[in-house]
Homo-oligomer: A and B are copies of this chain.
Amino acid sequence: MFLPSFQRSSVDGFAVRASDTFGASESMPGFLNMIGKVEMGQEVRDAISPGQTMYVPTGGMLPANADAMLMIEHAEENDDLICAYKQIAPLENVIQVGEDFTKGALLFKKGTKIRSQEIGALAANGITEVSVYRKPVLAYLSTGDEIVPSDISELPLGKIRDMNAVTIESAAREMGCDFIYGGIIKDEGDALQKAAAEFLSKSDCLILSGGSSVGTKDYSVGVLDSLGSPGVYVHGISIKPGKPTIIGSADGKPVIGLPGHPASALVIFQTIGSKIVNLLRGATESTTATVYAKSSKKIASAVGRTDYIRVTLTKKDNFYFAEPIHGKSGLISTLVECNGLLYIPENKEGIEKDEIAEVVLQ
């Protein structure tokens, strides 16, 4: 398939042999003889001879022998005599056969995210169905004796509502995943083991939230390790927030233990989890949008630790500026305030005032 499949006008005007307009100007117009008008969508069987022209609307097909379009703004019509007030070059205002898509050419590569324009390119070529990676199914279990369902109106002292389930579900769906919520599991080995095995079998990736610190009642590592081979290979990462993260693999399926702190859980899922999701989706490129911004303040960070600092981004004078948001890393309210996460790589001892840093858009 060549697209366009015919020589197509990109303007309203007159199809010409460009050479017939050479020398034409406002003061010295050229003259052409109009032999007809092309209708939109019409297959044109006419040809023009030297000195002849046909009217063609935007998107219309050019007659044979025409190689350029004279815009209507540069012409005057007197019955069938057209005055050309401008000389035009061959191929001017014309889209050639195959200029957009050539037969046998690759539309886009495997692993490309199908955006609006890719859908359009498929439709232009008459392709209305295409094989895609199916949506990864993420299964999610909340763990911890302190977790109660979100819809509890009176919160008992010592308890917190299961907000991680909804934040991670929302982020997962935004990444193009399906999501299965497995409920709140007591911090007790057997129950967790049973639920984890069940929900791993229903999904492409199991996520546990909470239960990944070194507290005595945290069975997550053992459970994730037992689900399949090779088991847990990361327990604890040098990222703030998000230190007590667990990453492993059970017989080819990734398993993730997210920190229990809501802010840490979301940041780790957006930064590390998104990379795992991209692999499951077959995406070849990162889908995380980042900008570069000048930090409005000096920000300290320990060497050997990656930091994601919540910031408010503003635009000024062709630059982004990042203002760190004050507050502890465990708080969700500061995640609500922020529209960016400023990234401090592990090899850096913080960011100086006005230094440029990469910021993940939120």
Q: Name A's B-contacting residues (CB within 8 A).
A: 1, 3-6, 8, 10, 12, 39-44, 57-61, 72, 95, 99-101, 107-108, 115-126, 128, 144-147, 150-153, 155-168, 170-171, 174, 187, 210, 213-217, 244, 260-262, 266, 289-292, 315, 318-320, 328, 330-333, 335-336, 356-358, 361-362
Contacts and interface: CB of A to CB of B under 8 A. Distances in A.
B292 A161 contact: no
Nearest to A174: B116
Contact of A58 (B117, B158, B213): B213
Among A95, A289, A292, A315, chain B packs the most CB atoms within 10 A around the CB of: A292
Contacts of A320: 292
Given A8-B160, A289-B289, 15 more contacts: A12-B214, A40-B146, A40-B215, A42-B145, A42-B158, A57-B215, A61-B158, A95-B331, A101-B333, A116-B166, A120-B164, A123-B150, A126-B150, A126-B155, A291-B291
B117 A332 contact: yes
B289 A57 contact: no
Contact of A336 (B58, B61, B107, B315): B107
Given A115-B170, A333-B101, A59 B144 contact: yes
Contacts of A41: 144-147, 158-159
23 contacts: A6-B157, A12-B215, A40-B145, A41-B144, A41-B145, A44-B157, A44-B158, A57-B216, A59-B146, A59-B261, A95-B330, A99-B331, A116-B170, A117-B167, A117-B332, A117-B336, A119-B167, A120-B335, A123-B150, A123-B165, A124-B262, A126-B152, A291-B292
Nearest to A162: B123
Contacts of A121: 163, 332-333, 336
Contacts of A100: 330-333
Nearest to A94: B328
Nearest to A128: B151
Closest 7 CB pairs of A and B: A41-B146, A120-B167, A57-B215, A41-B145, A116-B170, A123-B163, A117-B335
A7 to B, nearest CB: 10
Nearest to A108: B336
A111 to B, nearest CB: 14
Contacts of A59: 144, 146, 160, 210, 260-261
A291 B115 CA distance: 19
A318 B332 contact: no
Contacts of A261: 10, 59
Contacts of A8: 160
Contacts of A335: 117, 120
B120 A163 contact: yes
A43 to B, nearest CB: 4
Given A57-B215, A215-B57, A318-B358, A116 B266 contact: yes
